[in-house]
Structure 1
Amino acid sequence: MMGPVLAACLLIILSTAWISQANEALCKKDGGVCSCNNNKNSVDCSYKKLTAIPSNIPADTKKLELGYNKLSKLSPKAFHHLSKLTYLSLDYNQLQALPIGVFDQLVNLTDLRLNRNQLTSLPSGIFDKLTKLTILWLNVNKLQSLPHGVFDKLTELKTLYLQNNQLPRVPEGVFDSLLNLNTLDLDTNPWDCSCRDILYLRNWIREKQGNVSNIEAAECAVGNKAVLDITEKDAASDCVSPNTTTAIPTSTTTPASVIYDDIHEIKVPQENFQKFLGYQEPDHLPTQPQCLMSISGYLGLMMSLMLTSAAILYVFHFLKKA
């Protein structure tokens, strides 16, 4: 009776190895660029000098790290198959704009990191589908304005980082829906305290002082006076600013993003790719070591299948004798 028992144990071990090998192969569909932790549904693509998001990131991924790369643009559908994401980092890249609807499928997202980029504006409604978001990082960008209602749907938001941008003002009522907010960083922005529309921010800071941390650090661009302390006399001017609270249209970036994304799906020799486009993409196309890693992974998978089949036949053989 020991024969069938040993064979069954061997079958279990080989099946576990096969599942692990299959998961590893799934993680390396992008050419081996990213590392994966299947037990935690986590994919780490940081520090890879990427200029495009790798394809075939597993659909059940919950944590995706894309920070510390060279991303300058995103496809509008870059994350549409990743609806289970709860964490997405795009920090320390070179993003200059966000396409409309790029985050619309991320309905489970709680942590979004867009800090340390070069964003100058945000599209209207860019965060409207992120109703579970609790922390949003927008600091250290070049934001010159915020669209009306940009945070209206983020009723669960607890932490918002807006420091180190180029914001002279915010739209009336922009923070009114953030009822669960407990941390807001507004410092190191050129707040224009000579214009009457700064009074909304002043009044909001006064009302939330003691309940929302760090808001008192906001200072006027001139005079080093705290926004909290400005008077109606200080902000006496009815400033007319050229479209400062409306997002810059992104329609020009969307087609380019789509074309860019489609081009990367065409597998051509790297030399021809560069010659045709005049664009260097060394890290997105699989390199020889990455291809070898993928080949070895598939060979290992085939070996696991063969051993599993042999074990099954061995079990049947002993069961037949019994």
Structure 2
Amino acid sequence: MMGPVLAACLLIILSTAWISQANGATCKKDGGVCTCNDQTKNVDCSGKMLTAIPSNIPTDTDNLKLNYNKLRELEPTAFHNLKELTYLNLDTNQLQTLPAGVFDELKNLENLRIQQNQLKSLPSGIFDKLTKITNLDLNDNKLERLPNGVFDKLTQLGTLYLNNNQLRRVPEGAFDKLQNIKDLRLDTNPWDCSCNDILYLSKWIREKEGKVNGIESATCVNKKAVLEITEEEAAEDCVYPNTTTAIPTTIITTLASSNDDDIPELPVPQENFQKFLGYQEPDHLPTQPQCLMSISGYLGLMMFFVLISAAILYVIHFLKKA
């Protein structure tokens, strides 16, 4: 009767080993693409041409590098199991949006880098849970506006990079809660100094001049320094649309008052027409590391089932003899 017992033990051992391998498949030592350091709790997935965040990143990871990949979007729960993270690097990807709540579980995060992506806007409250963060890099994106109160909870923030974006204004009080800010980069944005919305930023820069590095370099579209703008110069009441697709009122009025025969036929680029219909190009084909991971996963799964089948047959054989 020792045969079935040995077979059952073998079955348990094989199952445990396979599950352990599957759970650790992120790291190179287990067939994954990332480099993991158990001592420092660092996981380096940078420069792997990834289009998705690898699954099964160790939950005790402290430092996670995902920079220099091809990430276009993030799942809202992408980092919810990584509550020990203090450093997260997402720079030099292709992110166009950030889902609301994606950073909500990273309450120990101190350094977040999202520079050199394609972000045009930020969801309201996207950073509200990051109360320990001291460094936030958003430079080299395409940010056109900031939500009201987007930095209000970041009272420990010391460094904030917003340079090289498309910002024309910031909301009233945008930086008032940044009690520990020491370095704030605002240059290379098309600050609109003809609208009175710029007066908050101009006054804030004057008050913090010499206390916060980098702020004096903010210039208007006419190259004049933002801190030098007066109320007379910024007299207009400007209203900025939330999107770049807003149609000017003059165009709507003209079209409404015209006969159908008078409206010229405008050529529509094929790619715009496809986007209008909801057509999307298929995603990138799997990269070589991802293919290797998939193949190794399937082979491991097949081997697992073969071994289980053999163990079950072994048990049945001895049960019949018994």
TM-score by length of structure 1 reads: 0.70
Kindly indicate whether the alpha-carbon contact (under 8 Å) linking 1:219 and 1:227 is maintained by their aligned counterparts in 2. Answer: yes
Q: Answer with 1 or 2: which has the greater Rg.
A: 2
2:132, 2:157 → 1: CA distance?
8
Any unmatched runs of 5+ in structure 1? 1-20, 245-276, 297-322
1:13-92 mapped onto 2 (5 Å cutoff): 27-28=27-28, 31-92=31-92
Kindly indicate whether the alpha-carbon contact (under 8 Å) linking 1:29 and 1:56 is maintained by their aligned counterparts in 2: no
Aligned mates of 1:229, 1:79 — CA distance in 2: 43
Decide whether aligned partners of structure 1 residues 294 and 180 sit closer, same or farther in structure 2, where only a CA change above 3 A counts: farther
Question: Following superposition of structure 1 onto structure 2, how do residues 215-230 of structure 1 map, counting pairs within 5 Å?
Answer: 215-222=215-222, 224-230=223-229
Residue of structure 2 in register with 1:109 after alignment: 109
Which ranges in structure 2 are unaligned for 5 or more consecutive residues?
1-20, 244-280, 301-322
| Residue 283 of structure 1: aligned partner | 287
C-alpha displacement of 1:62: 0.4
1:246-293 superposed Cα distances (whole Å, 9 cap, x missing partner): xxxxxxxxxxxxxxxxxxxxxxxxxxxxxxx94334238744488669
Q: 1:284 to 1:196 in 2, by over 3 A?
A: farther
- Residue 127 of structure 1 deviates from its aligned partner by 0.0
For residues 62 and 32 of structure 1, the distance between their equivalents in structure 2, rounded to whole angstroms, comes to 19
CA RMSD of the aligned region, Å? 2.7
The AA in structure 1 aligned to 2:57 is I
Task: Tell which has more relative contact order, 1 or 2 (C-alpha 8 A, sep 6+).
Answer: 1
Q: 1:294 to 1:32 in 2, by over 3 A?
A: farther
Indicate if the aligned counterparts of 1:30 and 1:55 stay in contact, CA closer than 8 A. no
Aligned AA (1:280): H
SS of the aligned residue for 1:40 comes to coil
Contact 1:59 1:82 in 2 (8 A): yes
What is the DSSP-based 3-state SS (H/G/I as helix, E as strand, rest coil) of the residue aligned with 2:197?
helix
Residues 107 and 132 in structure 2, CA contact (< 8 A), matched pair in contact too:
yes
> TM-score if structure 2 supplies the norm length?
0.70
Q: Distance in 2 between matches of 1:95 and 1:30?
A: 29
SS of 1:203's equivalent in the other structure is: helix
- The count of aligned residue pairs is 244
Show the counterpart of 1:93.
93
Deviation at 1:240, TM superposition (A): 1.8
Distance in structure 2 (CA, Å) of the matches to 1:129 and 1:282: 34
> What is the distance in 1 between the residues matched to 2:22 and 2:186?
47
Q: Structure 2 vs 1, CA of residues 83 and 281 (structure 1 numbering), >3 Å: closer, same or farther? A: farther
Query: 2: CA distance between counterparts of 1:84 and 1:177?
Result: 26
